[in-house]
Chain A
Amino acid sequence: MTTLDISTSGATETAGDAVLSFEGLTVTFRTQFGEVHAVKGIDLDVRPGEVVALVGESGSGKSVTSTTALGLLPGNARVSGTVRVGGQVVGSLDKAGLRRLRGNDVAMVFQEPMTALNPVLTIGDQLTEGLQLHGIAYGKEAEARAAELLRMVGIPEPERRLKQYPHELSGGQRQRVVIAMAISCDPTVIIADEPTTALDVTVQAEILDLLRSLTEKLDTAILLITHNMGVVADMADRVAVMFKGDLVETGTVDQVLNHPRHEYTKRLLAAVPHLGEGPGQFGDVTPPEPVPGEAAALDLRNLVIEYHRIGRPAFRAVDDVTFHVDPGEIVGLVGESGSGKSTIAKCALGLIPSRSGSVSILGQDFRNTRGRRLKELRKRIGVVFQDPAASLNPRFPIGDLIAEPLVVHQVGDARSRREKVMELLDAVELPPAVYNRYPHELSGGQRQRVSIARALTLEPELLVADEPTSALDVSVQASVLKMFTSLQERYRFACLFVSHDLAVIDLLAHRVVVMQNGEIVEQGAREEVLRNPREDYTKRLLAAAPVPDPGEQRRRREARHALLTSLGEESAELHL
């Protein structure tokens, strides 16, 4: 792979040898709010065998840009400027020409593998369709080719898989199928739109390995759309940074990530939490260590949680879990999807019953507490959920939302409640004017601040935070995390912080609990678990998390491959 050589030619770009180029691309949408300029005249080239990362936060126009290459924008979009794929100008093609282009010259890998495949057609159907359409292979031959493609992307037993439906495959396997579909017609360029955002970090690493080997072995160019700087460092040869429809900076991955010039790029990079650098990355004070001796804020012993399913045996989501959170302590609960971490959080909130084991909050057993005492106990627990859009009742104005816990527990009168809300708005750095606003009028980051304010209304001694920042853009996440640490210092609550992001946990937690498939793999002080992990799973998890520094990331990748080899596994790549 030729990562750094390109930096020399990077300055003298010519459109001639590019397989995909945007020249003066402008996209406007007519919406009910008026015209929206999504892309404001950008130039970008992608050359054969090259990975160009298009980076930006939500609303920057990066997905819109890439979609123009396939001519797939909705009817209310107006496109001007030139988009070239190979030698063809996309805007000048008729419908049939566009269809020949799609899949054949430029293919797409989408973000959400769960919904990108048609649920009622077999994998085989969906793979052979493109082959037959573009005249690559027919009938039995197409089926053989499809099986071959599945084998190439590392799916075992490809012949059997062809007859299966998407719901029978895991998320990672589905994304492999999507990639197999993308490479099926041997396109010159693949557009990968957040290809790993919906995936677990270990699966993400495998998919990235696979994509990387495409460029190496097939000389396919990739336009990688992502918001994740770690992924950029891992994959890209060149980087283009988008901000509100403009391209603010382009250059080699080393130039942009290690020596950013534009103010926005610098800010963006500064906001990325860096795994391995521990607390205080954003210039915050490290929270003080907790004082042991008092009753634990949360104490789980031999906790078992099962989900009942009609006509099938119960599903054991959490199996024999024991850990505790001391007063004033932040415990990070880490794991991939399906590890049971959110289930534990819900159980700790008393939202789902446990099968066996004990849950005690601030010295009281949750299972034996009823009625008024339960309500009193709940008063001392706060909660923040992942999706700020879903966790705020859309029909309440912000003021009412934050005051709701006071109303439920009949604390104070209207005036004192209002004062309390104002104080909290100030604490979460929101202007008092949002008091009468509705959630849909706020941005994602603002909404999450409201969530946090609501959680703190009753000054709880325990806060349960379930992935509170993972739905946010990275710069928003940084400011929310910064605020979170300062709030914790001010209110001294204990916190169970659930996250899949090791870098965030590294930033905040005093202790870390690692979970896999409902069981605890490893727990201990942050330094111990994240720096010197004992268990293979923790090692693997740590190795798979990408860091936003190309040189370091390459070392980490090689170390990860070495780790996999030592565990007797192969790393994912294209099998030709």
Chain B
Amino acid sequence: MSESPKSGAGSDALLAADQELVPEAKSYSANQIVLRRFLRHRGAIAAMVVMAVVIVVAFSSIGVGAIPGWWDKDITTAYDKIGTGAPTWEHPFGQDTIGKDYFALTMRGTQISLFIAFGVGIISTLIGTLIGAIAGYFRGIVDSLLMRLTDVVIIIPLLAIAAVLARMSEGDLNLLILALGVLVWTSLARLVRGEVLSLRERDFVMAARAVGTSPGRIIVRHILPNTVGVITVSATLTIATAILLETSLSFLGFGVQAPDVSLGSLISDYQGAFLSRPWLFWWPGLMILAIALSVNFIGDGLRDAFDPRQTSTKE
């Protein structure tokens, strides 16, 4: 089927606008246009701000590794308990059962959770993009094999296989990230494959092939840049998935192991404290909610920006 100009209502008008824009208007690349659209999505901007605040506070307050932060309490010392350990000016998030500063603990948990989320996001995006692009571009037997491999992973409930791998990582954070990263790429791989399958039939790829461009250059220079929308959006959502997955694993006891803490392990440790010490339950939970919600909103903003056919906010 050839693509014939649509005569749909309104497309005429847009065409007119398109032609009038040509001569003297300022030049924007595709990325700049995406950025402009993204900046118009109020929810996503608010989410970016929340996310930035969370990241800055989490890393600057208690510091990272040997670098100290501005918060004067640490995560290992048991301080004198003030009353029941409920939030005070001294301990704004309260204290845990033995008097540890809960703000410091929550910040440490946030660091670890963010670390896991972004690590998993990066690894799975790399794997998913690679597998999807190769399957989609080369098709045939390569495609069949890779897609069956994807099915093999998909058919096992994610949480179950994640639990098994997490148990194998035995509390090693890097192994845990790797384990989760090699699991959650499946949906991205399918999406990228679909995109590549349709892009490789597009005329500009045909033109590149006809000139004698090598498959590697076609994939890297011509196809992948055009799937960047799908990849970015999916990567964002993977981060949300990863943070919730880590939480669930910690709850089941297969996630981050003591003495280290993540937001998930904090809630898991104190779920029984809901009635007696509610702050131990609320802070990490709200933190997860804030991060996951921000990430989801950013993902939505990106989707609107990359694919403006269906914006969720009015122009």
Contact = CB atoms under 8 A, between A and B. Distances in A.
**A touches B (Cβ under 8 A):** yes
Interface of A: 27, 29, 31-33, 36, 38, 58-64, 67, 72-74, 76-77, 110-112, 114, 193-194, 197-198, 225, 244-245, 337, 346, 349-351, 374-375, 378-379, 381, 383, 385-387, 389-395, 397, 404-405, 408-409, 436-438, 440-443, 446, 451, 454, 458, 464, 467, 470-471
B6 A374 contact: no
A383 B210 contact: yes
B14 interface: yes
A387 B201 CA distance: 13
A470 B206 contact: no
A349 B2 CA distance: 19
A498 B257 CA distance: 67
Interface of B: 1-19, 21-22, 25, 27-30, 202-204, 206-214, 217, 222, 225-226, 315
Given A64-B9, A395-B226, A112 B4 contact: yes
Contacts of B315: 31-32
A374 B12 CA distance: 44
A97 B203 CA distance: 46
A477 to B, nearest CB: 13
B13 A350 contact: no
Contacts of B214: 408
Contacts of B21: 33, 441
Contact of A471 (B5, B19, B25): B5
B140 to A, nearest CB: 10
A343 B29 CA distance: 34
Contact of B12 (A63, A114, A436, A446): A63
A264 to B, nearest CB: 15
Contacts of B11: 63
B4 A29 contact: no
10 contacts: A38-B16, A61-B13, A64-B12, A193-B7, A194-B7, A350-B210, A383-B210, A387-B203, A393-B226, A438-B27
A322 to B, nearest CB: 23
Given A383-B206, A392-B204, A58 B5 contact: yes
Nearest to A337: B2
A443 B19 contact: yes
B7 A225 contact: yes
A392 B202 CA distance: 9
Given A31-B13, A58-B12, A393-B226, A386 B7 contact: no
A64 B212 CA distance: 44
A465 to B, nearest CB: 12
Contact of B206 (A29, A337, A346): A346
Given A442-B22, A471-B3, 19 more contacts: A33-B17, A36-B14, A38-B12, A59-B18, A61-B12, A64-B12, A74-B9, A111-B4, A244-B16, A349-B209, A350-B209, A387-B2, A391-B206, A394-B226, A395-B226, A408-B211, A408-B212, A437-B27, A441-B25
Contacts of B17: 31, 33, 36
Contacts of A194: 7
B203 A390 contact: yes
Contacts of A32: 315
A184 B226 CA distance: 45
B3 A29 contact: no
Nearest to B18: A443
